[in-house]
Amino acid sequence: MGFFADVAELFSTYNIFSAFGVTILFTLTAGVGSLVIGTVVAILRVSPVAALRAFGTMYVTLIRNTPLTLIIFFCVAGLYLSLNWNIFPESSPIAWHNFIWGAVGLSIYHAAFVAEAIRSGVNTVPLGQAEAARAIGLNFAGTISQVVLPQAIRGAIAPLGNTLIALTKNTTVMATVTAAEAATVMRNMIEFNPELLFLTFTIMATGFIVLTLPTGILFTRLSERLAVQR
**Domain housing 194:** 3-225
The pLDDT of residue 151: 85
Q: How many CB atoms lie within 10 A of CB 203?
A: 20
Question: What integer pLDDT is reported at residue 227 of this predicted model?
Answer: 66
Separation in Å, CA 129 to CA 45, 124, 138: 19, 11, 12
Question: Is residue 76 included in any domain, yes or no?
Answer: yes
Domain of 177, CATH number, reads 1.10.3720.10
CA dihedral 56, 227, 166, 207 (to 10 degrees): 160
- Note the pLDDT of residue 178: 61
Over the stretch 158-174, which tens digit does the pLDDT of each residue have? 899 999 999 999 998 88
Question: Above 90 in pLDDT, residue 125?
Answer: no
Task: Give dist(CA 12, CA 23) in Å, integer.
Answer: 19
Mean pLDDT within 110-121: 94
- In this prediction, residue 199 carries a pLDDT of 92
52-89 pLDDT per residue, tens: 999 999 999 999 999 999 999 999 889 988 888 888 88
Residue 25 has pLDDT above 70, yes or no: yes
Looking at the domain assignment, is residue 136 inside a domain? yes
Q: How many domains does the chain have?
A: 1
Question: Does residue 171 lie in a domain region?
Answer: yes
Give the pLDDT confidence of 97-107 residue by residue, as tens digits. 888 999 999 99
What separation in angstroms does the CA of 223 have from each of 106, 137, 181?
Answer: 24, 31, 30
Residue pair 219/160 in contact by the 8 Å Cβ criterion: yes
* pTM (two decimals): 0.89
Residue 201 forms part of a structural domain: yes
Residue 58 located in a structural domain: yes
Q: Is residue 230 assigned to a domain?
A: no
For residue 109, pLDDT over 80 is answered with yes
What's the rounded mean pLDDT across residues 98-124? 92
